[in-house]
Amino acid sequence: RLLIVSLCSVGTDIASAYACSFCTENQIVLNYVVNILHFLVQNFVPCLYCLFAYSLVYENINIGSNVTSIGRDAFLNSVELENIVVDENNAYYSSLDGILFNKDKTVLLRYPTGNSAKSYTVPAGVTTIGYAAFVSSAKLTSVTIPDSVTTIGDSAFAWCDSLTSVTIPDSVTSIGNEA
């Protein structure tokens, strides 16, 4: 069971999804490391989407200081992911309580699908809930959105089968498709 994936000292870009046709060798290798407790990626990550799109079971992801770009679909198949931790020296991303944000915490990028919390309150100061931010969060039953939020991205709450309550303030002026 792959418990921790660290993305440390990565180059300048982690390609967005669908741009990963060159990842075939790495997919094969990663399919054989399912029983490793700690998989450390240093100085080399072809793209996050390829690393996490193939039914690997992992609970924690550590994003290093040099990661500058994460594809928007990078964590879509991360059913066991409970915690995302970003190095505090990363200039582009941050995390709070295991949730992924942009650096200044104005955009909530990804709520880990395997997070066991039943309710979540988006922090004040967040202005945008990003594309598929809560997608497939099966344990989540309620989300409270603060008045600072103006935009909810496409598919933000798609496939959240247990979600019964989302408190949306009047400040929200844009709700994406299939949100």
Q: Which pLDDT value is given to residue 37?
A: 29
Residue 1 pLDDT level (bands cut at 50, 70, 90): very low
Q: The dihedral of CA 144, 122, 112, 76: what is its sign? A: positive
Q: How does strand 128-129 pair with strand 99-102?
A: unpaired
Q: Which pLDDT value is given to residue 57?
A: 57
Contact by Cβ (8 Å): 17, 71: yes
* pTM greater than 0.95 (yes/no): no
Rounded to whole angstroms, the maximal C-alpha distance in the chain is: 49
Q: Over 70: is that where the pLDDT of 4 sits?
A: no
Measured distance CA(125)–CA(141) in Å, rounded: 23
Residue 13 pLDDT level (bands cut at 50, 70, 90): very low
DSSP three-state, residue 53:
coil
Q: Which pLDDT value is given to residue 159?
A: 92
Cα atoms in the 13 Å half-sphere on the side-chain side of 84:
23
Q: Which pLDDT value is given to residue 59?
A: 80
What confidence tens digit (pLDDT) does each residue in 44-77 have? 443 444 444 444 556 888 887 777 777 777 777 6
Tokens 């600072």 map to which residue?
A: 148
Measured distance CA(88)–CA(142) in Å, rounded: 29
Measured distance CA(84)–CA(95) in Å, rounded: 7
What confidence tens digit (pLDDT) does each residue in 72-106 have? 777 776 778 899 888 899 898 999 999 999 999 99
Q: Which pLDDT value is given to residue 10?
A: 38
What confidence tens digit (pLDDT) does each residue in 104-146 have? 999 999 999 999 999 999 999 999 999 999 999 989 999 999 9
